[in-house]
C-alpha cells in the first residue's frame, strides 16, 4: 500500500526567504536572514540551477526527490520545508505532485530471500503487475513466488534498477552487500585530521552503503575515499581518469593511511599489478582487443569489498555496463559536479547509488578550504581575414576556427605579463593551437601524447616553482594536484561542456600559501560560436555562485597592472 499522505495545507503568507512556484522552481533570496536555514532545508530534495548575486534558483525534479527518499527523507519533511520557508502560500498542485512522486520510490524493493536468493518484493500489487508486463523488465525476472514477490536473476540487479528508474518506479535496494576480502586499512591522522565535511561525507556514504559524494575541486575528495576505505577494511578497486591521477592517489594513500607502497597496485597501460588496493584507469578498462573489453575482467579478479569511482561524472559506458553486475559490492562515486553532458545522471543514481553528500563550492570557500576565485571572460575581435574565413567555413569547422583564432595569442601574452609573478596554466583543446602557444610563450606543452614520465617530471617542476607556465590540453582537466597554480587562461574547450569548465577552474582552487585568490580567464572570440559555447560552459559555475566579469581584449593588452 502507498504511504500515508502528509497534511497538504500550503501555509500562510509569511516573510520567508523562499518563493515556491508552480513550475517546480524555488527562488531563494540570498540576503534574507533566513536564507541559510531555508537552503539547508531544501538542499536534500532540490537541485541548484543558478546562483547569481541576489536570488538563487532551485528546481524540484523526480530524480532529486528520489535521491531525498533514498537518503531517508520523506514527503512530510519536504512539504514542511517548503511551507515553513515560503513567503507565499505554496501551490497546492505542486505539493500533491511531490507527495505522489516520492511515494513511487520504494513500492518495489530488492531483497535477499533465504530460500530464493534475490527477489523483487512489491508493497503495491498493482505496481508489480504493471512492471511484470513491461517487455524490458520481464526477461530479468524468474518465477513468481507469491502475489507480491518474484525472483530476480542475480546478474540483472543493476540493469533492473536502471529500467525501473526509467519507467518511474525506482526500486529501493535492500539486498545488502558482500563484505569482500578483508584487508586492514587505518587512517594515520598524526599531523593532519579529516575536515568536518570530509568526515560527514564518509559517514553519510557508509550509512547508505553506496552512493555519490559531491565536493568542489580541491576540497579533498581523496580523503573521503581514504576514510571510506578505512571503514570498509577491505580490498579496494579505485578507478581514475588517468595514470598521473592514479599515482597521486597512491602518494596520498601511502602518506595518510597505514597502506604501504607494496599493498597498492597500478593497473594501467604501463603496468598490470593487482594488489589489495588496485588503482586502474578508465582508459585501460575501456580498451578493446579484438572487439572485446578484456581488461573488464579486473572487476572479477579479486573479491573487492569497495569500488571507488573517481570523477564519476566521466564514467564511460562500458564501465557503467560492468557496474550493473557489481551491485553486491559497496560503490563510492566522487565528483565535483554530477552534471553529465550525456544526461545519464539517472544511471549514476541507479548503478552507483544516490547522492549521499553535497557541499556547495562557496560554502567550502567561506570555510577557507578552497581559494576564492575571480572569473573573467576576455572578448577578442577576430581580424577581418579571420572573420571572413569563419563566415564561409563549413559548420563542422566553425568552432575550431573561432576558438583557435591567432588574435588570442597576444591577449594570452598580456595576461601572463599582468601576472608575471604567478604560476599559470594555459589550457586548450586543440593541439596545434597549444603548440603555437608553447612556442610563443617559451613554455612546455603537455598533451595526450606526452609520456607519463615526462608529464610527471613537468608537473613536479611546476609544483616546485621551477616552471612558471605550463601549456596543457584536456589531460590536465581532471585530478591533477597543482596547488601552486593561481592563474589559468582558457583558450579553447570541448564545445559547451559545463563539467570541463568546472574542472578547469578546479585546478586553481587549492588554498594559496599567501591567502591570495585565483584568477580564471576565458579568452573568447566575439560574434561567434566561441562566445555562444562560452555562455553555456559557464552555467555550472554561475550556479555555484561564480560571477564572470566580461572585459574587452583592448583592456587587457596594455601596461601591466600595478
192 with 257: CB under 8 angstroms? no
Among positive and negative, which fits the CA dihedral 152, 210, 236, 450?
positive
Give pLDDT, residue 341: 60
Question: Which residues are CB-neighbours of 324 under 8 A, at least 6 positions away?
Answer: 157, 158, 159, 162, 351
Class of the CATH domain delimited by 196-364: alpha beta
* Cα–Cα distance for residue pair 423/463, rounded to 1 Å: 9
* Cα–Cα distance for residue pair 61/46, rounded to 1 Å: 7
Using alpha carbons only, give the angle 344, 345, 349 rounded to the nearest 5 degrees: 120
* Cα–Cα distance for residue pair 343/368, rounded to 1 Å: 33
350-380: b or e for each residue (b if 16 or more CB lie within 10 Å)?
bbbbbbbbbbbbebbbeeebbbbbebbbbbb
- Bridge-based pairing of strands 117-122 and 108-113 is antiparallel
3-class secondary-structure state, position 16: coil
For the chain, residues with pLDDT lower than 70 are: 1-14, 51, 339-343, 476-480, 495-496, 558-562
Cα 33 to Cα 17, 39, 372, distances in angstroms: 8, 11, 23
- CATH number corresponding to 371-556: 3.40.50.300
- Bridge-based pairing of strands 55-59 and 373-380 is unpaired
Q: What are the E-state strand segments in 350-462? A: 355-358, 373-380, 424-427, 445-446
3-class secondary-structure state, position 41: helix
3-class secondary-structure state, position 113: strand
Give pLDDT, residue 559: 46
Instruction: Tell me the β-bridge partners of 151.
Output: 119
Residue showing cell 566522487: 334
Residue showing cell 580541491: 218
* Cα–Cα distance for residue pair 369/196, rounded to 1 Å: 11
Q: What is the mean pLDDT of the chain?
A: 88
221 with 310: CB under 8 angstroms? yes
Using alpha carbons only, give the angle 70, 76, 77 rounded to the nearest 5 degrees: 65
3-class secondary-structure state, position 146: strand
3-class secondary-structure state, position 369: coil
Instruction: Report how far Cα 418 is from the mean position of its chain's Cα atoms.
Output: 33
Instruction: Tell me the β-bridge partners of 139.
Output: none
Q: What is the pTM of this model?
A: 0.81
* Cα–Cα distance for residue pair 375/489, rounded to 1 Å: 10
3-class secondary-structure state, position 247: helix
- Bridge-based pairing of strands 330-335 and 277-281 is unpaired
Residue 195 burial (CB count, 10 A):
16
Q: What is the DSSP code (8-state) at residue 348?
A: I
461 with 455: CB under 8 angstroms? no
271 with 146: CB under 8 angstroms? no
Give me 22's grid cell.
Answer: 508552480
511 with 365: CB under 8 angstroms? no
Amino acid at each position: 500500500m502507498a504511504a500515508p499522505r502528509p497534511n497538504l495545507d500550503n501555509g500562510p503568507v509569511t516573510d520567508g526567504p523562499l518563493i515556491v512556484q508552480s513550475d517546480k522552481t524555488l527562488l531563494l533570496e540570498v540576503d534574507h536572514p533566513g536564507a541559510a536555514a531555508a537552503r539547508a532545508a531544501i538542499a536534500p530534495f532540490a537541485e541548484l540551477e543558478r546562483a547569481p548575486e541576489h536570488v538563487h534558483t532551485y528546481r524540484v525534479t523526480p530524480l532529486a526527490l528520489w535521491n531525498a527518499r533514498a537518503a531517508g527523507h520523506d514527503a512530510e519533511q519536504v512539504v514542511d520545508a517548503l511551507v515553513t520557508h515560503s513567503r507565499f502560500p505554496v501551490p497546492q498542485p505542486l505539493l500533491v505532485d511531490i507527495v505522489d512522486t516520492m511515494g513511487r520510490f520504494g513500492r518495489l524493493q530488492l531483497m535477499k530471500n533465504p530460500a530464493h536468493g534475490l527477489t523483487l518484493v512489491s508493497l503495491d500489487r498493482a505496481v508489480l503487475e504493471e512492471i511484470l508486463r513491461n517487455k524490458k523488465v520481464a526477461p530479468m525476472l524468474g518465477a513468481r513466488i507469491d502475489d507480491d514477490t518474484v525472483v530476480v536473476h542475480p546478474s540483472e540487479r543493476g540493469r533492473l534498477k536502471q529500467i525501473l528508474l526509467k519507467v518511474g518506479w525506482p526500486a529501493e535496494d535492500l539486498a545488502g552487500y558482500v563484505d569482500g576480502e578483508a584487508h586492514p586499512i587505518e587512517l594515520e591522522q598524526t599531523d593532519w585530521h579529516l575536515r568536518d565535511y570530509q568526515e560527514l561525507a564518509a559517514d553519510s556514504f557508509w550509512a547508505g552503503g553506496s552512493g555519490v559524494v559531491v565536493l568542489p575541486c580541491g576540497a579533498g575528495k581523496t580523503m573521503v575515499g581514504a576514510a571510506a576505505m578505512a571503514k570498509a577494511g577491505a580490498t579496494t578497486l579505485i578507478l581514475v581518469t588517468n595514470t598521473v591521477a592514479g599515482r597521486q592517489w597512491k602518494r596520498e594513500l601511502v602518506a595518510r593511511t597505514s597502506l604501504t607502497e607494496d599493498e597498492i597496485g597500478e593497473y594501467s597501460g604501463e603496468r598490470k599489478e593487482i594488489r589489495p588496493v588496485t588503482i586502474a584507469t578508465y582508459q585501460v578498462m575501456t580498451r578493446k582487443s579484438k572487439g572485446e573489453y578484456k581488461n573488464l575482467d579486473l572487476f572479477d579478479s579479486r573479491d573487492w569489498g569497495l569500488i571507488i569511482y573517481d570523477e564519476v561524472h566521466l564514467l564511460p559506458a562500458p564501465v557503467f555496463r560492468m557496474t550493473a553486475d557489481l551491485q553486491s559490492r559497496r560503490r563510492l562515486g566522487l565528483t565535483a559536479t554530477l552534471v553529465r553532458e550525456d544526461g545519464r545522471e539517472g544511471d549514476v543514481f541507479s548503478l552507483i547509488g544516490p547522492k549521499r553528500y553535497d557541499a556547495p563550492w562557496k560554502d567550502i570557500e567561506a570555510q577557507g578550504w578552497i581559494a576564492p576565485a575571480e572569473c573573467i571572460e576576455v572578448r577578442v575581435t577576430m581580424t577581418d581575414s579571420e572573420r571572413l574565413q569563419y563566415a564561409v567555413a563549413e559548420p563542422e569547422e566553425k568552432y575550431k576556427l573561432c576558438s583557435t583564432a591567432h588574435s588570442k595569442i597576444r591577449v594570452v601574452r598580456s595576461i601572463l605579463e599582468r601576472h608575471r609573478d604567478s604560476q599559470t596554466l594555459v589550457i586548450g583543446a586543440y593541439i596545434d593551437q597549444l603548440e603555437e602557444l608553447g612556442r610563443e610563450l617559451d613554455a612546455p606543452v603537455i598533451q595526450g601524447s606526452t609520456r607519463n614520465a615526462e608529464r610527471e617530471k613537468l608537473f613536479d617542476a611546476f609544483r616546485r616553482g621551477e616552471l612558471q607556465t605550463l601549456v596543457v590540453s584536456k589531460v590536465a582537466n581532471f585530478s591533477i594536484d597543482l596547488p601552486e597554480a593561481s592563474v589559468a587562461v582558457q583558450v579553447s574547450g570541448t564545445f559547451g561542456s559545463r563539467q570541463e569548465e568546472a574542472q578547469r577552474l578546479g585546478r586553481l582552487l587549492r588554498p594559496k600559501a599567501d591567502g591570495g585568490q585565483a584568477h580564471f580567464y576565458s579568452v573568447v572570440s566575439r560574434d561567434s560560436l566561441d562566445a555562444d559555447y562560452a555562455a553555456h560552459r559557464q552555467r555550472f559555475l554561475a550556479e555555484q555562485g561564480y560571477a564572470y566579469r566580461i572585459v574587452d581584449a583592448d583592456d587587457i593588452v596594455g601596461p601591466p597592472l600595478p
